[in-house]
Structure formats: structure tokens, C-alpha cells
Amino acid sequence: MLLSLEVRAQLRDMFEKELENPVNLKLFSQAIGCETCSTAEELLKEVESLSQGKVKLEIYSPLIDKDKASAYGIERVPTIVIEGDKDYGIRYVGLPAGLEFSTLINGIIQVSKRKPRLSERTLEILQSIDIPMEILVFVTTSCGYCPSAALMAMNFAIASDYISAVIVDASENMDLAEAYQVVGVPKIVINRGVAEFVGAQPENAFLGYLVSAYEKIKRELK
């Protein structure tokens, strides 16, 4: 048992109050060459067991379930997909341990609500996004500001079919962290480097970076 009795009780109570609609978790995992996969499986099974049937977990191996892995764009393990009645493009790459456990739980709760926690102005502006925008959020399990940055990206993904949110544990994916020169976290990278910034920015600032990246891509497409 990974979660303490106290945490389990808190989680059960939170799920009972907050979960509105079913949530599907898809974990892509493998036994060989992945240090955290078995722990991720155990953790998600415990989370599922505390949800009164609202959270459903499916576990896949990218080596065996190649079509499924390809359909979800899975490149690394463990990767967790948080789905509602559709795929919002939300992925967590790594083991959501430490402070990042709250990112997983809040992501599940937000997806269960089927609507983002964003201002009307932000939602209106996001309606104009019409090309794929990927928000990479690099996090670590000991970073106090990372969960809010990750959840902001998830809310943007829920708001628009064109936006995806990929939360990446920097210490588990050192090659990616080095490729994007991650020195401090949370570091947010939009469309593989079109725009990037560090820190848990307020909604307006986050939106500003996304829109500027979108406009830059649109100009280059002309």
C-alpha cells in the first residue's frame, strides 16, 4: 500500500464530493527497462479503488499494444492518459509522486467536471485556436509551484480540442529536460520551443504566451 490510511480517507472523501462524471485512466507501462512503471501501476490501482467506480484504470504495454500506443502518441513509459468522454490530450509522463500526486488528483477531478476552470475571456480567446498547440510542462516531485502550472495547462487542454497538455517529470526524462534546457521548474515549452517560460504564471500571462506562439506559427504558415 503506497498511500497512507489518512491520505486514502482524504482521497475517498474528496472523490465523493468532487467527481462528477466518469474518468478513464490509461497507463502505458512495461516491466523491463522502466524503474517507476510498477509503482505507477500500484499507485493508480489504489486511486481507482478509492473512487467508488468513477475512475477506471486500463493498463497497456507499448510493446504489445502497439496500435493503442500509436493512437495515443505514446513515446515513453510510464505515461498516464487522463480521459473523460473523449481524449483531451492530457498526458503525464513519469510517476506522479511527491507534490505531483496532487497534479494527478486535480487533473482527474477537473476532467470529471468536463469543463475547464478558466475565465470567460480566456475561453473566448481559445475559441480562435485552430492549429495543434502542445503545452509541455516540465515538473519535479519536490516543486511547490509545478502543480498549479500543470493544472493550468490541463485546463487549457480541456478548453480546446486543438490544445494538448503533456506534463513531464524532468528528473525521470533527463534527455528531454536537457534538450529543452530545463534549469528551473516549472518550465513550460509551447510547440517544441516556439515559446517558453519558467514559473507558475497567472492565467492571463499563460494565455499570452500561448497566443503569441499561435500567432507566430500562423505567420510562418502563410
DSSP 28: E
The owner of cell 504495454 is 61
Same domain, 123 and 189: yes
Rounded Cα distance, 134 and 194, in Å: 10
DSSP 98: G
**Which one, of 123, 122, 154, 121, lies nearest residue 137 by Cα?**
154
Same domain, 132 and 106: no
CA 113 to chain centre: 16
Give the burial class of 55: count Cβ atoms within 10 A of its Cβ; 0-12 exposed, 13-18 middle, 19 or more buried: buried
Please say which residue of 87, 114, 141 terminates a domain.
114
**Which one, of 146, 214, 144, lies nearest residue 182 by Cα?**
146
| pTM of this structure | 0.97
Q: What local confidence, expressed as pLDDT, does residue 221 receive?
A: 87
Contacts of 112 (CB under 8 A, 6+ apart): 18, 19, 20, 21, 22, 23, 54, 84
Same domain, 126 and 109: no
Same domain, 136 and 213: yes
List the domain range (segments joined by +) for residue 155: 115-222
Same domain, 81 and 151: no
Please say which residue of 114, 130, 165 terminates a domain.
114
User: CA–CA distance from 22 to each of 84, 111, 117, 196 (Å)?
Assistant: 7, 9, 18, 33
Parallel, antiparallel, or unpaired for β 163-169 and 133-139? parallel
C-alpha cell at 201: 504564471
Helix (H, G, I), strand (E, B) or coil at 169: strand
Number of domains in the chain: 2
Q: What local confidence, expressed as pLDDT, does residue 177 receive?
A: 98
Tell me the backbone φ, ψ of residue 174, rounded to 5 degrees. -60, -35
Same domain, 134 and 106: no
Rounded Cα distance, 41 and 58, in Å: 10
Q: What local confidence, expressed as pLDDT, does residue 114 receive?
A: 97
Q: Are 12 and 50 in contact (CB under 8 A)?
A: yes
Same domain, 120 and 172: yes
- Tens of each residue's pLDDT in the chain, 222 residues: 999 999 999 999 999 999 999 999 999 999 999 999 999 999 999 999 999 999 999 999 999 999 999 999 999 999 999 999 999 999 999 999 999 999 999 999 999 999 999 999 999 999 999 999 999 999 999 999 999 999 999 999 999 999 999 999 999 999 999 999 999 999 999 999 999 999 999 999 999 999 999 999 999 987
Question: Half-sphere exposure (CA, 13 Å, Cβ side) for 210?
Answer: 31
